[in-house]
Amino acid sequence: MSYALTTLWHERQRYLTAILAVAFCALLGSVQFGLLLGLFSITSMPVDNSRADIWLGAPKVLGVDLGRPIRESQALARLASHPDIERVEGFLQGFSYWARKDGGQELCMVVGSRLEPGSMGRNTALERYPELAEALTEPGTVVFDESDKEKLGVQKAGDEAEVAGSRVRVVGFVKGAKGLAAPFVFCSLTTARPLLRCFPGQITYALGKVKKGASPEDVVASLRRQYAPAPPKADPLASKDMGALSIQTESQKEAAEENALGQDSQAELSIFTSAEFSRRTRVHWLTKTKGGFALGYAAVLGLMVGAVVTSQTLYSATAASIKEFAVLKAMGIPRWRVSLHVMTLAAWVGIIGIVVAIPAVFSLAAVAEMWGVQMKLEAWLLITVSVVTLFMAIGAGLFALRSLRGVEPALLLR
Amino acid sequence: MIQEGTAFSERVWGSDPILQGLHLVRAFGDGGALSRAVDDVSLEVHRGQFVLMMGPSGSGKSTLLAMLSGLLRPDEGRVVCMGEDIWSLNDKEREQFRLDHCGFVFQGYNLFPSLTAREQIELVARWGQGATSAEARDMADALLIRLNLIDKAHLRPPQLSGGEKQRVAIGRALVKAPDLLFADEPTSALDWAHGEEVVKMLRELAKDNGTTVVCVTHDHRLVPFADRLIDLEDGRLKRQSYGFHGVTDQIGHPMQEPGEIQPAIPAKPTLRFRATP
């Protein structure tokens, strides 16, 4: 066992504060970002709760909730043209306005899909309610999460409301499908069209299932090659000679793309695997709303508090051993060797703090889940938080090294 | 009987001193509060000697030890140790010099509270000598056997008596096999039984290793163990004498009567030396 670890163990009461401070940092970072990811994972819920492997949507779609109408026949045909695609179906999603009985209006997110068992777009939240899925096949019927009842001004199944001027009847409620800002309203494709003011023959997405053994990534890559963005029409020279000479400013490119889109909005479609589209949706909202920054600031503050406490604990612990270090210095032991010892102590404080934090993070996640709050603790998040916390502890150790400046062997002589 | 010191030294210890302090001066404070802790002291220490530096509190003995050992820069004068003018070296070179040649024992033990007796010694062997953990353990155990502490190798400072702690500190100082060992009041925190044990061990181990010991103390009970006494008073050398303990006599016969006075190396500008016949 290293001397640092021995010291840590035998002086654990002294170092406990620093270990807890580090654990607090790791906990705060993991919980805050876990909550944030959990919160924004709601935005990608229709993708995550689907059975589709591939999503095909309007050009440059930023997230699943920001889709635009595309031609159903063309989109489904393009997707189905790939030999590894087993089946395809349409999907509708978009924001609309829910008119409450009391006259108020609420933003809602209409999700229209096929409803038969095994269909790709049917939200898995409906799996536990086969009778509701059955009831939704009747045009003009909708369901939503029971926690959104109050928001949408609905008391019970059978109540009626108006969405985008079309009358709808609520046939029941589900659990685990709560929206972020706008409640999710689930219905059939037929019901969804008027609610989203979509023309017949238009959908928001075409969903595809790949054949067994085929890779969705490969299929998407192949489809992207096939339906790759057409060369900018505004600059025929560049399009002809892309390989040899590709001198084009960003603004020229943008103008060219806009032009291309204007001429044929179906020329290039967005094609993603489900995992890609889910991540794209979450990242969009995370960056767009700046919510990540707000929580990020809090996590940085937590890190700073941890750094100060760790640094001060290490400083006072090192200062308490200053006479022992002075003896070593008198004997000619180089300062870097003692500094390395302090840094090793700091690193161990960091590692133990992180080890202490991990079970606490998972316990808090379990408690949050009991309250209906999702905390998404992905491996990359935990690894990132651990690495940042460890660097914080080592940084605190560097700061604590200033206590070694006072090591003066002559002071030991009385 | 007054005897010419240099001639006596050369006869007994050889002609080359391992350590020389030449006209050392060190003052503290400034202006009207200036106080000369060490005032023009010169002395020589020969290889293998066990030298006691004695004097009342404030006589400058610890300051002199600090200057001789390369820990405190003198205001004036030179320290020549093993042929090297140690205060003409830069800090790094002087640190390396101490690493190569010097060991220290202090009154306060200054042991790491969380390390065992063995680890205290191993630490210096590993960090100072670059020994592997196996080598360091062997070196530590060899010393602990000689210090009669092998049974307590696994104990930490709070579990050791004062005498045992000081023996561990001696082990820590000697693990590098230094040419010189500087000790500052090594027995003052101990009762006489433990103090005697510590000083005997220090002397024996130093003799076995060929280590020269310069020990500051105000404890007169250590005098019989010394090869040489240096008395300081008010920062000045009062007298040098050879102690009861025989220089080369291993069977207890002193080579010289106690209290024989050696004149110091002439001071600048005049010898400030108050010898008592």
What confidence score (pLDDT) does residue A339 get? 92
What confidence score (pLDDT) does residue B276 get? 38
A218 and A306 within one domain: no
What confidence score (pLDDT) does residue A376 get? 85
Kindly tell me if the per-residue pLDDT of A35 is higher than 60. Answer: yes
Q: How far is B71 from chain A (nearest CA, A)?
A: 5
What confidence score (pLDDT) does residue A254 get? 43
Alpha-carbon distance values, B182 to A285, A384, B106, B173, B215 (Å): 70, 51, 8, 9, 6
Is A330–B99 a contact, with Cβ atoms under 8 angstroms apart? Answer: no
Distance CA A183, CA A97 (A): 11
Is A414–B114 a contact, with Cβ atoms under 8 angstroms apart? Answer: no
A52-90 residue pLDDT tens:
999 999 988 888 989 999 999 989 999 999 999 999 999
In a domain, B137, yes or no: no
What confidence score (pLDDT) does residue A237 get? 40
Choose between A264 and A195: higher pLDDT. Answer: A195
> Quick one: closest CA in B to A322, which residue?
B110
Domain count, chain B: 1
In a domain, B130, yes or no: no
Kindly tell me if the per-residue pLDDT of A246 is higher than 50. Answer: no
What confidence score (pLDDT) does residue A296 get? 74
pLDDT band at A1 (very low <50, low <70, confident <90, very high): low
Kindly tell me if the per-residue pLDDT of B191 is higher than 90. Answer: no
Distance CA A168, CA A72 (A): 24
Average pLDDT over chain A, rounded to whole? 84
Lowest average pLDDT, out of A7-11, A80-84, B108-112, B201-205, goes to B201-205
Q: Which of A228, A257, A273 is the last residue of a domain?
A: A228
A169 and A36 within one domain: no
In a domain, B45, yes or no: yes
A67 and A7 within one domain: no
In a domain, A272, yes or no: no
Domain of A300, in residue numbers: 3-41+290-412
Kindly tell me if the per-residue pLDDT of B262 is higher than 60. Answer: no
pLDDT band at A187 (very low <50, low <70, confident <90, very high): very high
B50-102 residue pLDDT tens:
999 999 888 999 999 999 999 999 999 999 999 999 999 999 999 999 999 99
Query: Smallest Cβ distance to A332: which of B107, B128, B216?
Result: B128
A171 and A90 within one domain: yes
In a domain, B136, yes or no: no
Q: Which of A191, A211, A228 is the last residue of a domain?
A: A228
A161 and A188 within one domain: yes
In a domain, A275, yes or no: no
In a domain, B156, yes or no: no
A221 and A74 within one domain: yes
What confidence score (pLDDT) does residue B273 get? 35
In a domain, B43, yes or no: yes
Residues 6+ apart with CB under 8 A from A41: A48, A278, A282, A374, A376
Kindly tell me if the per-residue pLDDT of A243 is higher than 80. Answer: no
Chain B residues with CB-CB distance to A11 below 8 A: 113-114
A325 and A196 within one domain: no
Q: Which of A228, A249, A280 is the last residue of a domain?
A: A228
A107 and A172 within one domain: yes
In a domain, A254, yes or no: no
Distance CA A198, CA A195 (A): 8
A214 and A68 within one domain: yes
B8-24 residue pLDDT tens:
555 555 557 899 999 99
Interface predicted TM-score (ipTM) of this complex, two decimals: 0.81
Is B104–A330 a contact, with Cβ atoms under 8 angstroms apart? Answer: yes
Q: How far is A10 from chain B (nearest CA, A)?
A: 5
Taking residues A202-231, what's their average pLDDT?
A: 85
A94 and A208 within one domain: yes
In a domain, B155, yes or no: no
Residues 220-259 of B with CB under 8 A from A: none
Chain A residues with CB-CB distance to B127 below 8 A: 328, 333, 337-338
Kindly tell me if the per-residue pLDDT of B275 is higher than 90. Answer: no
In a domain, B272, yes or no: no
* Residue B184's CATH number: 3.40.50.300
> Quick one: closest CA in B to A326, which residue?
B110
A388-404 residue pLDDT tens:
999 988 998 898 888 88
pLDDT band at A410 (very low <50, low <70, confident <90, very high): confident
In a domain, A236, yes or no: no
Q: How far is B37 from chain A (nearest CA, A)?
A: 12
What confidence score (pLDDT) does residue B72 get? 92
Domain of B223, in residue numbers: 5-111+178-262
A69 and A18 within one domain: no
Domain count, chain A: 2
Query: Smallest Cβ distance to B108: which of A10, A323, A338?
Result: A323
In a domain, A179, yes or no: yes
A29 and A68 within one domain: no
Note whether B113 contacts A: Cβ–Cβ < 8 A: yes
Kindly tell me if the per-residue pLDDT of A261 is higher than 80. Answer: no
Is A413–B176 a contact, with Cβ atoms under 8 angstroms apart? Answer: no
Taking residues B111-117, what's their average pLDDT?
A: 93
What confidence score (pLDDT) does residue B18 get? 92
Taking residues B235-258, what's their average pLDDT?
A: 56
Is A413–B71 a contact, with Cβ atoms under 8 angstroms apart? Answer: yes
A265-299 residue pLDDT tens:
445 788 999 999 998 998 888 888 777 677 778 77
Instruction: Give the whole-number percent of chain B exceeding pLDDT 70.
Output: 82
Query: Smallest Cβ distance to A328: which of B97, B119, B127?
Result: B127
Chain B residues with CB-CB distance to A330 below 8 A: 69, 71, 98, 102, 104
